[in-house]
Amino acid sequence: MSNTAESTVKRPLRVAIVGAGPAGVYAADILTKSNEVKDGDFEVSIDLFEAYPAPYGLIRYGVAPDHPRIKGIVNALHKVLDRGDIRFLGNVTYGRDLTLHDFRAFYDAVIFSTGAIKDADMDIPGIGLEGSFGAADFVSWYDGHPDVSREWPLDAKEIAVIGNGNVALDVARMLVKHADELLVTEIPDNVYQGLKNSPVTDVHVFGRRGPAQVKFTPLELRELSHARDVDIVLYPEDFEFDEASDDAIRSNNQTKTMVNTMTNWLVEEHAEAEQPSSRRLHLHFLHSPVEIYDEGGSGKVAGIKFERMQLDGTGNVKGTGEFIDYPVQAVYRAIGYHGSALDELEYDAKRGVIPNEGGRVLDADGNPVPGIYTTGWIKRGPVGLIGHTKGDALETIGFLLEDRLTLPPAQNPDPQAIIDLLEERGVEYTTWEGWNKLNAHEAALGASWTEAAEADGGVARERIKVVPREEMIQISRA
């Protein structure tokens, strides 16, 4: 019998999960509900760590606040953490407050689910000009991330968004939507004021390939048409379909739905509108970005140049040698997220992931590191929808369960020991009880707004997000 089997036979298996977004919560939930635990083979004790004072990760800080399905996901995650069998410890940063050595001392296994929050690089001239932004940074701003500036320069009338995924549509929709429509969401007051004062008239979304190759989903596409006083503009020359496109439309219902939706919009566009909208959202396809340029050496974005592309029969594209300039004063690149390196773990800089096999973290020689696992976007890269992380977590937990009798045992498995260490180091950690306090406080802010607004016939608000980290901590630890 191994050391771990001997040392854990009379105590629960201690597991730390670093990252309390959907991937981390799913992993914790799957482990607690595994057959091995339900059948009484062993008990498990899980601590869920989060760098921010509040849980939910991507759901709170990485998704547009007007997505209708977010509330349902939050409710599901809340039910898991509210059961009381998973301990939440927020405002604890890996590599600063706790090291890998610390985790190994207090836990038999560690699962990293830190996600991917940085923008993927785009290497074209002018990418560093003033007015050129990463979509992830903008998302962090409008989602009230506690570690980003509360200000955002919204002074452009014409804006380019590069990318054909859901994030590109989120960014475009948030830029073009009238701020008053967002009052029903939890956006912070500074975000509402910033968007309300935006002079934007036109937002252009550009994709390299054709309408049948887009990466967004029907729900996100349809949400574009729900914005009040916003016209959707499409261009007949962009609706080019090759043999691979036709195959995709015939064989994939999602592709068929999106192409039909856009084609209908294209036809309806020619109908005479009673009154033109004050803002326009343009969808462009077969455009490959070549250069962002300024004017007269100003250092500020003045426009963006694209090469027209054409489909090559396989669904891929090739250049035509034709170039088009669009005058814009801001450019947002939404070409994907990239994971960040973690102290004391190997890192694949090209893919932005922790090298792993099915969730077992690998060392520099490609061998599994005993007791160390990963799940979510930091495991497989930032692809797929939130629900796909359940499959990731299931695979990772399956390997952890296989390994449970050979894990390196924790030196101090007492659950109180990690709390004592955090307090000794002066870490102002937050708890699930603290999150409930902060949750109630944000709901109360919404109720106060609603009470004042109703007197003037204004919009009711369910909640208003608290932004400053210090305030979140103070409310949570009160």
3-state SS record for 416-460: HHHHHHHHHCCCCCECHHHHHHHHHHHHHHHHHHHHHHHCCCCCC
Count Cα neighbours of 416 within 13 Å in the Cβ-side half-sphere.
Answer: 0
Q: Has residue 364 got a pLDDT over 80? A: yes
Q: Range with the lowest mean pLDDT among 346-355, 395-404, 436-445, 459-468?
A: 459-468
What pLDDT is attached to residue 464?
95
Mean pLDDT for 439-443 is: 96
Mean pLDDT for 382-392 is: 80
Query: Mean pLDDT in the chain?
Result: 93
Mean pLDDT for 207-215 is: 94
CA pair distance 270, 260, nearest whole angstrom: 16
What pLDDT is attached to residue 222?
87
What pLDDT is attached to residue 334?
94
Q: Has residue 216 got a pLDDT over 90? A: no
What pLDDT is attached to residue 198?
98
Considering the entire predicted model, what is its pTM? Answer: 0.93
CA pair distance 317, 441, nearest whole angstrom: 51
Mean pLDDT for 192-220 is: 94
Tokens of residue 201, six digits: 């008239």
What pLDDT is attached to residue 1?
37
Confidence label for 273 from pLDDT (cuts 50, 70 and 90): low
Tokens of residue 19, six digits: 């990252």
Q: Has residue 106 got a pLDDT over 70? A: yes
CA pair distance 141, 154, nearest whole angstrom: 12
What pLDDT is attached to residue 5?
45
What pLDDT is attached to residue 117?
85
Mean pLDDT for 18-45 is: 96
Q: Has residue 2 got a pLDDT over 60? A: no
Q: Which residues of 69-82 are buried (b: 16+ CB within 10 A; e: fewer)?
A: ebeebbeebbebbe
What pLDDT is attached to residue 386?
76
What pLDDT is attached to residue 388?
76
Q: Range with the lowest mean pLDDT among 57-71, 103-117, 323-337?
A: 57-71
Tokens of residue 348, six digits: 């694949």
Mean pLDDT for 76-98 is: 97
Quick check: 133 and 332 in contact, CB under 8 A? yes
Q: Has residue 68 got a pLDDT over 90? A: no
Share of the chain above pLDDT 70, in %: 96
* Tens digit of each residue's pLDDT (9 = 90 or more) over 253-271: 999 999 999 999 998 865 5
